[in-house]
Chains A and B, each alone.
Chain A
Amino acid sequence: MGPETEEMQGRELKDENQEMTGASMLIQALARENVDVIFGYPGGANLTTYDEIYRTGMHHVLARHEQGAVHAAEGYARVSGNPGVCVVTSGPGATNVVTGIADAMIDSLPLVVITGQVATNAIGTDAFQEADVIGVTMPITKHNFQAREVEDLPRMIKEAFHIASTGRPGPVLIDLPKDIAAASGFFNYNQPVELPGYQPTVIPNKLQIKKLADAVSEADRPVVLTGAGVLHAHGSDELYDYITKQQLPVASTLLGLGAFPGTHELSLGMVGMHGTYTANMALHESDLLISIGARFDDRVTGALKHFAPNAKVAHIDIDPAEIGKNIETQIPVVGDAKEALRMLNEYNGTPGEFSEWKQQLQAWQEEYPLWYHEEKDFLKPQHLMEMIYEETKGEAVVTTDVGQHQMWAAQYYKFDRPDCWVTSGGLGTMGFGFPAAIGAQFAAPDRQVVAVLGDAGFQMTAQEMSILQELNLPVKIILVNNASLGMVRQWQELFYEQRYSNSVFPIQPDFVKMAEAYNIKGWKIENPGDMQEVLREALAHSGPVLMDCRVEKEENVYPMIAPGKGHHEMEGIKP
């Protein structure tokens, strides 16, 4: 994979305190940060950096659009747990990664993005391919830097990796002007990171942990809400111990799926707009809600005035600004989810007694399971998800875009592992899932990576099929093809009196031919009876594949909390 030269392979470290160019410092620093792959696209302002990539043989994946590069870096970050690195040029190269940076910011994914910039003496002159990237990305990065002196560069890169990967993870951008990349200076990477303004609290306050543990002993109807914070903290094992020891029911946010095994009897499934009836009602009826690494997003809470009306709220979060932001919190716990769970597990409190509550939850689960009507003539998207789950034995890395297919994947793929699920949650980015699958495949080369995509979202970043072709990357593309913008269409049906404004595609490309143009094996599946067999064959194929699965076009995602409604007002809870 990628160009490799004998001398360096991008990993050989030069000695410290050598004189070298800014571009060389960058590559040397990346190697010291154990970066094994970068995703990017060259251009005028980062030619020196690309020359260094060429000379060192640094493993670089050439996207076909910068948006593809940044989403790949996100997918890589999500699955590997390490910062994804993305290198693009100035101006349009940089503005093309804005969507991915915003996506990583809201979903707390660690990224280090290096943008080229025009030379320092041209900054501010409206030079060719100049854009104020620092200004543009200030609100959507955890932090950003512009290198103005070459000798600042090692410190900046070190700080960038530190900021991106610690505390609440997020994207950090370094704007690297062309003359700084070419200038020479002494490289010293052995400096400690000194950021007095950035000191995330990792270890929670013992007293707050005790308060939380005592609240659990006293509660009658507790429920745990787990979010992506548990995944970022690598705290799944601690979570499992805590939940099973305390016998607490667990609901998950969309992004937190997999933190606790979805098939476990204590799992209630996903909460929120298209969550399960039981998970939502559990929150609504609870007297103690323990949120761990979740941020009470509006798609999770529904109408705030109806949210968990009887619950005492405990909130564990590494970002203090999330605590009390949307929901009043009685027991705030600032700290890393893993550390908090470890401390909770060490605390010997009186175990609670929740058998009545669990009976209630079980009754709801039996009465209101997820449902859909099976049909002979149409492939039901929900059934498709169930088949994908079965055929991959629940072990694949699943990536999605945003919309109906995303909700169905979240509902029907029972994520048992913490590193299986890559989706655009907060920003809801179409075009995310496919390049994210490419990044995920680099992070987990030996695992099955399945990109479950809508036909509309796929067309936003479909050009990245070139990467699959070039590297024979075995990503499996599954198009949930309803020839429309399914979720937009659903809302138009429900809330705009079926005026389907620009949501139903009058024409579509031949996706199989598209795949074949990239030498990717493609199938079109129209008959539901064929699906399983094709799926089996396609998943067993050693290279990349595309399955164009024609699903029921007018299928809606249920159950649903309509906008402005509360958890207890779900619709479509029964067939």
Chain B
Amino acid sequence: MKRTIIATVNNNSGVMNRITGLFARRQFNIESITVGMTENPEISRMTFVVNVDNERGLDQVIKQLNKQVDVLKVRDITDDSIIARELALIKVVAAPQHRGEISALAEPFRATVVDVGRESITLQVTGDQQKVEALIDLLKPYGIKELARTGITAFKRGAVKSDFETPKHSILN
């Protein structure tokens, strides 16, 4: 199962190495990993998308991360209300007659054309993983020359909308 885990870590040299080394030696399967500074320059935030077989695997990922001295906090936010975004740059084969078509495809995704070459255009799209993948799928028939994805970065929403309270006795259930 795929889980999204965020960690705040000390912004020390070598911390990335500690984390990726940990994943490699414990045979944890990472799909993506992103890292960047937080509002506090001494602390970085990492977002991992990991593939684990079961609850025990997930438990180990979180516990092993927690054991690292430079890791301050770890959370599995998969089931929380979160904002998760990734950015993808997609270079698509685009003969002049196809450019309009591709732009039209990109529009509902709010993807923007960031570069145009003689035989290709490059689109930039931001969104959750599904959205990015949907656009990539649509562009595949044209021929994707190059693809670069940042991986998911995420955090919890500020104002968490409380779950709609279903009355205990209702004709609906």
Residues of A within 8 A of B (CB): 134-135, 138-139, 142-143, 146, 163, 195-198, 319-321, 324-325, 328
- The answer to whether A138 touches B21 (Cβ under 8 A) is yes
**Given A197-B70, A320-B63; 14 other pairs, CB 8 A cutoff:** A135-B17, A138-B18, A138-B21, A139-B22, A142-B69, A146-B14, A195-B69, A197-B9, A197-B10, A198-B69, A319-B67, A321-B64, A321-B66, A325-B60
| With A163-B69, A197-B10 as contacts: A321 and B60 at CB distance below 8 Å | yes
Interface of B (DSSP majority class) = helix
* Nearest 10 pairs of A and B residues by beta carbon: A321-B63, A143-B69, A197-B72, A198-B69, A197-B69, A197-B71, A139-B25, A320-B63, A196-B72, A321-B64
B29 within 8 A of A: no
Chain B residues close to A by CB (< 8 Å): 9-10, 14, 17-18, 21-22, 25, 56, 59-60, 63-64, 66-72
Which chain B residues lie closer than 8 Å to A195 at the CB level?
69
Give min CB distance, A104 to chain B, whole Å: 16
> What separation, in Å, do the CA atoms of A572 and B105 have in the docked complex?
73
Q: B68's closest neighbor in chain A, by CB?
A: A197
Q: Tally of A-B residue pairs with Cβ under 8 A?
A: 37
> Which residue in chain A gives the minimum CB-CB distance to B18?
A138
Q: How far is the CA of A142 from the CA of B22 in the complex (A)?
A: 12
Nearest-neighbour CB distance to chain A for B161, whole angstroms, equals: 31
Taking A197-B71, A198-B69 as contacts, is the C-beta distance between A324 and B14 under 8 angstroms?
no
Given the complex of chains A and B, what is the CA–CA distance between A298 and B116 in angstroms? 59
* CB-defined A-B contacts under 8 Å, sample of 24: A134-B14, A135-B17, A138-B17, A138-B18, A139-B21, A139-B25, A142-B69, A163-B69, A195-B69, A197-B9, A197-B69, A197-B70, A197-B71, A197-B72, A198-B69, A319-B67, A320-B63, A320-B66, A321-B60, A321-B63, A321-B66, A321-B67, A324-B59, A328-B56
Give Cα distance in the complex from A139 to B14, angstroms. 12
- Report A74 CB to chain B, min CB distance, Å: 21
Bound CA–CA A320/B62 (angstroms): 10
What's the Cα separation between A139 and B60 when bound, in Å? 16
Residues of B contacting A319 with CB < 8 Å? 67
Within the complex, what minimum Cβ distance (angstroms) separates A166 from chain B? 11
Q: Which residues of A contact B60 (CB under 8 A)?
A: 321, 324-325
* A321→B21 CA distance, assembly (Å): 17
Q: Measured between alpha carbons, how far is A138 from B72 in the docked complex, in Å?
A: 18
- Docked Cα-Cα span, A328 to B56, in Å, equals 9
Contacts of B69 in A (CB 8 A): 142-143, 163, 195, 197-198
Q: Which of chain A's residues have a CB closer than 8 A to the CB of B17?
A: 135, 138
In the complex, the chain B residue whose C-beta lies closest to that of A322 is B63
CA distance A195 to B60 in the complex (A): 22
In the assembled complex, how far is the CB of residue B28 from the closest CB belonging to chain A, in whole angstroms?
13
**Distance in Å from the Cβ of A419 to the closest Cβ of chain B?**
27
B61: min CB distance to chain A, Å: 10
Which residue of chain A has the shortest Cβ distance to B55 in the bound complex?
Answer: A324
**A196 to B10, alpha carbons, bound, how many Å?**
10
**Which residues of chain A have C-beta atoms less than 8 A from B68's C-beta?**
197
- Tell me, rounded to whole Å, the shortest Cβ–Cβ distance linking B22 to chain A: 8
Residues on A with beta carbons closer than 8 Å to the beta carbon of B66: 320-321
Instruction: Give the docked Cα–Cα distance between A360 and B23 (Å).
Output: 45
